[in-house]
Amino acid sequence: METHFLSKLLISVALVGIIGVFVRVYNAVVAEPRRLQSAMRKQGLKGPPPTILLGNLLEIKKARDAAAAANAATVKGPPPSHNCGAALFSFFGNWRNQYGDVFMFSLGSLQIVHVTEPEMVKEITTCTSLDLGRPTYEAKDRGPLLGQGILTSNGPYWAHQKKIIAPELYMDKGMINVIQESTMALLKSWMKKIEADGGLADIKIDEYMGMFSGDVISRACFGSNYADGEEIFMKFGALKESESKKVFMSTGIPFLRHIPTKSNREAWALEKEIKDLILNVVKGRKESGFEKDLLQTVLEGAKNSNMIKDVDRFIVDNCKNIYLAGYETTAVSAAWCLMLLASHPEWQQRIRDEVVDISNGQIPDAEMIRKMKLLSMAINESLRLYPPVPVVSREALKDMKFGNLNVPKGMNLWTIVTTIHTDPKIWGPDSYQFNPARFANGITGACKFPYLYMPFGVGPRVCLGQNLALVELKILISSILSKFSLSLSPKYVHSPAMGLVIEPGLGVNVLMKLL
Ligand code: HEM
């Protein structure tokens, strides 16, 4: 009798559990997307029709596969034009032609409003309300990679983290020294290689750009524990590699991250290893040291705050976030800029003349790079054509209004940087060409609406490492130009690809000669 009652109870509990899971799945996959879609449709917003579960993912996959095949088959040598958006996001172009600057689409169950209308872009990107934040799906879908550090957090917790981290990323003399040392290491390795190859070397520069950028970040973050930092970041590189394969095509499909697939299990294991390694360094610090690096700042910030409940997690997530934000973005920016200068010998020579004139054979310092106007123009132009981060994304954390559009809580807003950066209506008829001269009078002179130039984002969530990145790029590129002459290798195939950032999919091969 008692056994019968117990088994009945168990079955009832199991049933309630199953129904509970079913309701949650139904809400996430069907009800919530429908609610958001219907709220937008009522206001006249159109977009490609989504399917349940996948949204518009299949259409996106088809367009990406077609573009990749076309790209690999054709563009060898210097690219005739730099329409990165068409190579990577042809689907946005097609939908924009059909539905206009503002339309909606779905990635899985994720509902997104695409915005390239200038006034609305301005309103969104400069909105200071904490009700508009970074998309919550980023932390959910890419948890092992991002955690809840400054990149993904929102509200007062984000504002608090920003206060702790931002001052550490201001440029000071120590940081300039670190950049100069990393630059010298790179120049030496190239000189050796060129000599060994008889005066002319064909160098795949991407790997070296990564080493340079990783070196700077490891030293900035971990100071004298720099060697530990390198090991941590190597593991993080492996984690990033496996996670970047999931970008786009697994975005917005709920529960995928909880399934113990081979790649998820690998990611979980790496996540744990990275956490243990970082906390080991932290333990050493508590016992022995006083340092003035980013780790120490985060450590002290966490200890002195009553808002941070899980100190270990705060430290680990922010180390990962800084590395993720600053490593690859800077490395690919340098690679794209050198590709452009190798393909435009006239600009290369003009900038070299300026550099030699100002630096007189030395590795440039902060004062010198401030004077290098042509170099800044070329870097601005390179970041316009190849912005590493192609989308500035936000989520309405409460019901909000932009322009005439009521945006319900949970809706994502995407500003497509590649489209905006190359729109002929904004930049003129040569918008797909490399023409640094357009920046001769700064950003305001180059573009009808300066707030539409956004390689580092705009508004309250603007990149905190912008100055650091620009100084890195200026010191590195000016030093390279003053020592070597560059031309594009016949091996170069133009292949913009989307990992976590826009990267040269098949690398950048440059023919390098000592001057
Ligand atoms: C050329 C190199 C870089 C580019 C193109 C770049 C671009 C960006 C972009 C587009 C954002 C998002 C802005 C937004 O959502 O409005 C961002 C955020 C951020 N970046 Fe960078 N970044 C670069 C280098 C760096 C470096 C070197 C660091 C630090 C070491 C860094 C740290 C950050 C941080 C902490 C954030 C988050 C800011 C926040 O949410 O409050 N970035 N970056």
Whole-number Å distance between alpha carbons of 412 and 392: 11
Residues near 476 by beta carbon (within 8 Å), at least 6 away in sequence: 179, 183, 186, 212, 334
Whether 397 is covered by a domain: the verdict is yes
Task: Please state, in angstroms and rounded to a whole number, the distance separating the CA atoms of residues 508 and 492.
Answer: 6
Query: Residue 284's CB: how many other CB atoms inside 10 A?
Result: 12
CA geometry: angle 145, 89, 405, nearest 5 deg:
85
Domain that holds residue 256: 120-514
Within a domain: 68: no
CATH number at residue 450: 1.10.630.10
Residues 6+ apart with CB under 8 A from 289: 224, 296
Residue nearest to atom 18 of ligand 1 (CA): 463
Confirm if 230 and 213 have CB atoms less than 8 A apart: no
| Token digits of residue 317 | 């997530």
Tokens matching residue 130 = 């904490």
Q: What does the alpha-carbon distance between residue 476 and residue 455 come to, in Å, rounded to a whole number?
A: 19
Whole-number Å distance, alpha carbon 322 to ligand 1 midpoint, is: 9
Interface confidence (ipTM) of the complex: 0.99
Q: Is 99 part of a structural domain of the chain?
A: no
Q: Kindly compute the dihedral angle of the four CA atoms of residues 22, 27, 29, 30, in this order, to the nearest 10 degrees.
A: 110
**In whole angstroms, what is the distance from residue 396 CA to residue 412 CA?**
6
What does the pLDDT profile of the chain (515 residues) look like in tens digits? 567 888 888 888 888 888 887 777 777 777 888 899 999 999 999 999 999 889 999 999 998 888 777 766 556 777 888 998 888 999 999 999 999 999 999 998 999 999 999 999 999 999 999 999 999 988 776 667 778 889 999 999 899 889 888 887 877 778 899 999 999 999 999 999 999 999 999 999 999 999 999 889 888 888 766 777 778 878 887 887 777 665 555 555 556 666 778 777 888 888 888 888 888 888 777 655 556 778 888 888 877 777 888 888 888 888 888 888 999 999 999 999 999 999 999 999 999 999 999 999 899 999 999 999 999 999 999 999 999 999 999 999 999 999 999 999 999 999 999 999 999 999 999 999 999 999 999 999 999 899 999 999 989 999 999 999 999 999 999 999 999 999 999 999 998 998 889 999 899 999 999 99
Tell me, yes or no, whether 37 lies in a domain. no
1 within a domain of the structure (yes/no): no
Of the candidates 494, 342, 413, which has an alpha carbon nearest to the alpha carbon of residue 103? 413
Whole-prediction pTM: 0.91
* Structure token pair of residue 189: 């390795």
Q: Has residue 297 been placed in a domain? A: yes
Non-local CB neighbours of 265 within 8 Å, separated by 6+ positions: none
CB 470 within 8 A of CB 379: yes
Which two three-digit tokens encode residue 466? 């912008």
- Helix-then-strand count for the chain, H and E: 22, 12
Counting Cα atoms < 13 Å in the Cβ hemisphere of 113 gives: 32
Residue nearest to ligand 1 atom 11, measured at CA = 463
Q: Which atom of ligand 1 is nearest to the CA of 165?
A: 35
Residues annotated in the binding site for heme, as ranges?
463
Regarding the beta carbon of 465 and ligand 1, being less than 6 Å apart is answered yes
Residue 76 has what pLDDT?
A: 72
CA of 3 from ligand 1 middle (Å) equals: 61
β-pairing verdict for 110-115 and 412-416: parallel
**CB distance 330 to ligand 1 below 6 Å:** yes
Separation of alpha carbons 350 and 221, rounded Å: 35
Distance CA 326, CA 153 (A): 17
- How close is the Cα of 66 to the center of ligand 1, in Å? 31
Question: How far is it, in rounded angstroms, from Cα 318 to Cα 166?
Answer: 12
In a 13 Å sphere around the CA of 68, the CA atoms on its Cβ side amount to 11
Is residue 40 included in any domain, yes or no? no
Which mutation among 84, 329, 451 tests ligand 1's pocket best, with the greatest number of atoms within 8 A of CB?
329
Instruction: Specify if 277 maps to a domain.
Output: yes
Q: How many domains is the chain partitioned into structurally?
A: 1
Longest dimension (CA), the chain: 96
Q: What is the CA radius of gyration of the chain?
A: 24
